[in-house]
Amino acid sequence: MRRLPFPLHRLCGCAAALACMLPAGCGDPRDAGWSGYADADYIYVSSPLPGTLSVLAVEAGQQVGRGKPLFALESESEKAAREEANARLEAAQSQASDADKGKREPEVAVNRAQLAQARAAAELAQHDLTRKRELVARGFISRAQLDEAQATLAQAQARVAELASAVQVARLPARSDARDAADAQVEAARQVLRQSEWRQQQKQQTAPSDAQVADTFSRPGEFVAAGQPVVALLPPANIKARFYVPESELPKLALGQDVLVECDGCGAALRARITRIATRPEYTPPVIYSNSQRRKLVFMLEAKPAPADAPRLRPGQPLSVKAAANATGR
């Protein structure tokens, strides 16, 4: 038999030593940490109204501040509707203001002139009645002529009262019910204007928070349906680590507890806080759990780093997560 150039027992010992040098090769396999990846909750910005994309003010990878313009849709129809609503509001306000006023002075002057004529006619009828009473007493005219003169005077006096009331009414504002109706018309027109302004504003979307533009989905000139995302934003606070923990180690973790997150090219491990623990396991048949299958039970957890550290993680990046030595709930 040919002898090996290297003693077999020494070769086995080296293999064992090499295995111990590899991650999780010796000792507790949990020292290598739990596997996971970086994830994020994106903000998909859209318009509740449809229209043609006229302006795209950002591009992928760009940093935007809160309130900065993102995109604008064509809004000629909304502008026209707003101008119409504004004109209707001005008309309603003018009508309500007019209800507070009486007739114009020239119209009141006409009523006054008619009242003056009626008073003159009543005075003439009064003199005529006085003369006819004297003539009836002397027997120069009949009693019927006196009755006619009395009727003429009564008509003239009634006409004076009528025109005097007309002059008084001409100076009065509208009745309370009519004024209330005018105010209601003004309020209705104001709400229509608000609707028009809101529709026009929805055609121009701004960034809801400081974020990075993760992607854009349309180009100027394309038609965008209502609710269709145009821009995807990624705020630093929305970046998180998602990792999977075996069932046996789950009781050691709790919401608010700190963990250490490591990744290639991230530099020093960053601290994150557990914000979610899944209520259901994964990667195991859901009907029967044998003893061997229970070892494969893992639960998904999520942890969020501080906003200042979050940009060090990139969604989809593999991560290794460990419990922090001085893990505390926050």
In a domain, 10, yes or no: no
Structural domain includes residue 51: no
In a domain, 187, yes or no: yes
Half-sphere exposure of 189 (CA within 13 A, CB side): 20
Task: Provide the number of structural domains found in the chain.
Answer: 2
What is the distance between the terminal CA atoms of the chain, rounded to a whole angstrom? 68
Same domain for 155 and 93, yes or no, is: yes
Q: Is residue 70 a contact partner of residue 46, using CB atoms and an 8 Å limit?
A: no
Kindly state whether residue 298 falls inside one of the protein's structural domains: yes
- Same-domain pairing of 116 and 35: no
56-60, 232-236, 323-327: lowest mean pLDDT where? 323-327
Q: What is the pLDDT of residue 327?
A: 56
Two tokens, residue 47: 């318009």
- Strand-strand pairing, 270-282 and 258-262: antiparallel
Are residue 186 and residue 133 in the same domain, yes or no? Answer: yes
**Beta-bridge mates of residue 71:** 56, 205
Position 166 in a domain = yes
Q: Three-state DSSP class for 140?
A: coil
- Domain assignment present for 13: no
Q: 266 and 176 in one domain?
A: no
pLDDT digits (tens, 9 = 90+) for 44-66: 999 999 999 999 999 999 999 99
Verify that 247 and 165 share a domain, yes or no: no
Task: Write out pLDDT tens, residues 298-308.
Answer: 899 999 999 88
The residue among 194, 211, 244 that closes a domain is: 194
**Proportion of the chain in helix, strand, coil states, percent, rounded to 5:** 45, 25, 30
Residues ≥6 apart with Cβ < 8 Å to 19: 25, 26
Distance CA 301, CA 74 (A): 44
Q: Which residue has the higher pLDDT, 3 or 52?
A: 52
> pLDDT grade, residue 29 (50/70/90)?
very low
Region 242-254: mean pLDDT is 91
For residue 77, being part of any structural domain is answered with no
pLDDT: is 5 or 271 the higher one?
Answer: 271
The CATH number of residue 265's host domain is 2.40.30.170
Question: Which of 14-23, 73-82, 111-120, 280-289 is predicted least confidently?
Answer: 14-23
Query: What's 19-36 look like in SS3?
Result: HHHCCCCCCCHHHHCEEE
Residue 95 is assigned to a structural domain of this protein: yes
Q: In this predicted model, which residue has the larger pLDDT, 68 or 150?
A: 68
> Which of the residue ranges 102-111, 232-241, 280-289, 319-328 would you say has the lowest mean pLDDT?
280-289
Residues 188 and 253 in one domain: no
Single out the residue in 194, 224, 245 at which a domain terminates.
Answer: 194
205's CB contacts (< 8 A; 6+ apart) are 45, 46, 47, 69, 70, 71, 72, 230, 231
Give the integer Cα–Cα distance in Å for 146 and 275. Answer: 108
Residue 190 and residue 93 share a domain: yes
The reported pTM is 0.64
Name the H helices within 65-210. Answer: 76-99, 105-138, 143-170, 176-202
Considering the domain architecture, whether residues 101 and 181 belong to the same structural domain is answered as yes
**Which residues face 274 on adjacent strands?**
303
Q: Among 172, 194, 216, identify where a domain stops.
A: 194
Query: Each residue of 253-267: pLDDT tens digit?
Result: 999 999 999 998 888
My answer on whether 247 and 176 are in the same domain is no
Q: Say yes or no: 187 and 242 in one domain.
A: no
Closest CA to 97 of 179, 192, 202, 220: 179
Beta-carbon contacts of residue 168 (< 8 Å; ≥ 6 apart): none
Tens digits of residue pLDDT in 32-48: 689 999 999 999 999 99
Q: Which domain holds residue 109?
A: 89-194
Spatial distance between the Cα atoms of 176 and 189, rounded to a whole number of angstroms: 20
